[in-house]
Amino acid sequence: MRAKLCSVLNGVTLIGLGVVLLDFYFTGRLDQYLHPQFRPWTLAGGIVFCLAGVIYAGSKATECCVEGECVHRNSNSLLRSALAFCVLFLPLAAGVALSKDSYDQHAVLNRGFVEDMSTLPGHSGVSVQKPSNDPAIPPQALGADNDERATEPLPQDTPNDQSDPNGPVPADQANPNVPSPNDQSSAQYLPRAVDGNVALEVTDLLYGEAEESLRKMFSDKTVEVVGQYLPGSDANQFKLVRMFIVCCAADARPIAVPVQVSGPISVTEMGWVKVIGKATYAKNGDRVHVILRADKVEPTDPPAEAMLY
């Protein structure tokens, strides 16, 4: 009787695990947790857990061993079965009900922001490689990057340019070899939001810090960027945050664009917002930094893929 009870309880634990995995997979919540490459494993795991649980609960304990000697002598222990249920199933079941499927600002601040986009996986250091989930800037639009002449530094980027080292970086004029920001051959590839604004990701703006051609493409255009709101040191600025993952949310690293606004806004911390404005790139020492000057900030729904990768 005890052996059967243990078999049933262990089977329920395994089935419960499977149901939780399948629930997260089919409801789409898993998308917030795992890189796409790992998601099929979760689906397969959920199915196998359910099947194994049914077989385990339905088979006799003596079938654990083929010729009568049980391999797992503690498999008939109620304490072990109860412990497995509490440790394996309950935390995951609690996660179904309690997890908000995102980090709050404490985790973001504890992890620290990625300062240099070239250190993120997927960046070759030579040309822009977008995170794979959202090819906002298709390779065709980066034709300038494949043109050797286009990689020549602009006058304002050369050491001889001492006019205003900390001032805004002019995005046009200067080098006739680089496509104009109004060049339709590049601009036509820029993704558009429903209202006609250029729809970009936080990563696009940050990659622009290192890519002259991107800066030129973004300049003078009204862009629309979605991210999470992290309050700044004063009411006129905040950070627009996205999380970048390699395999799962446990290794997520925050990336952020500073946003300037004209006055205080009412958004919950780490709530999703859509920022409409213009991207400005300014030199600070040897580096170029982006600032998004917002014309409008409004709450919005989280994107289908909350994580970038």
Partner 1 sequence: MQFFVATDLYDRARVSWVGIERIVMSWFTFTWQNFLFSFLALAFEGLPFVLIGSLISGAIAAFVPSKVITGFLPKNGILATLVSGLLGLCFPICECGIVPVVRRLMDKGLPISCGVTFMLASPIVNPIVAFSTLAAFRAQAPWLNMGTRLTLGYVVAVVAGLVVRGIDPSSILRSGAIKGPTRKRLAFSVSALPDAASAGINASVHEKLVAAIRMACDDFIDTAIYFMAGAAVAATFNTAVDQQIILPLALNPMLATFSMMAFASILTLCSTSDAFIAATFVSFPIFARMAFMVFGPMFDLKLFFLYSVLFKKRFVIGLGIGLFIFIGIICSRVLIYLYAGQAL
Contacts with partner 1 in 234-263 (CB under 8 A)? 246-251, 253
Tell me the site size for partner 1, rule CB under 8 A.
74
Out of 19, 24, 156, 254, which residue is the one contacting partner 1 (CB under 8 A)? 24
Strand (E) or helix (H) holding 54: helix 39-58
- If one asks whether residue 13 binds partner 1 (CB under 8 A), the answer comes out as yes
Of residues 250, 8, 296, 271, the one with CA closest to residue 110: 250
Farthest-apart Cα atoms in the chain, separation: 87
CA dihedral of 224, 115, 38, 92, whole degrees rounded to 10: -90
- If one asks whether residue 231 binds partner 1 (CB under 8 A), the answer comes out as no
Binding region for partner 1 (CB under 8 A) out of 26-34, 196-204, 220-228, 231-239: 26-34
Residues 46-85 that bind partner 1 (CB under 8 A): 48-49, 52-53, 55-56, 59, 63-75, 77-80, 83-84
- If one asks whether residue 10 binds partner 1 (CB under 8 A), the answer comes out as yes
Beta strands in 51-181 (DSSP E): none
- If one asks whether residue 127 binds partner 1 (CB under 8 A), the answer comes out as no
Q: How far is the CB of 101 from partner 1 (least distance, A)?
A: 7
- If one asks whether residue 1 binds partner 1 (CB under 8 A), the answer comes out as no
Give residues with Cβ within 8 angstroms of 139, minimum separation 6.
Answer: none
Out of 5, 27, 28, 38, which residue is the one contacting partner 1 (CB under 8 A)? 38
Nearest CB to partner 1, comparing residues 28 and 121: 121
Out of 98, 163, 184, 286, which residue is the one contacting partner 1 (CB under 8 A)? 98
Reduced to 3 states (helix: H, G, I; strand: E, B; else coil), residue 60 is: coil
Give residues with Cβ within 8 angstroms of 278, minimum separation 6.
Answer: 220, 221, 222, 223, 292, 293, 295
- The secondary structure of residue 207, as a DSSP letter, is H
Nearest CB to partner 1, comparing residues 20 and 200: 20
Nearest CB to partner 1, comparing residues 126 and 194: 126
Q: How far is the CB of 203 from partner 1 (least distance, A)?
A: 14
The sign of the dihedral angle between the CA atoms of 31, 37, 41, 44 is positive
The sign of the dihedral angle between the CA atoms of 281, 282, 283, 284 is negative
Nearest CB to partner 1, comparing residues 83 and 262: 83
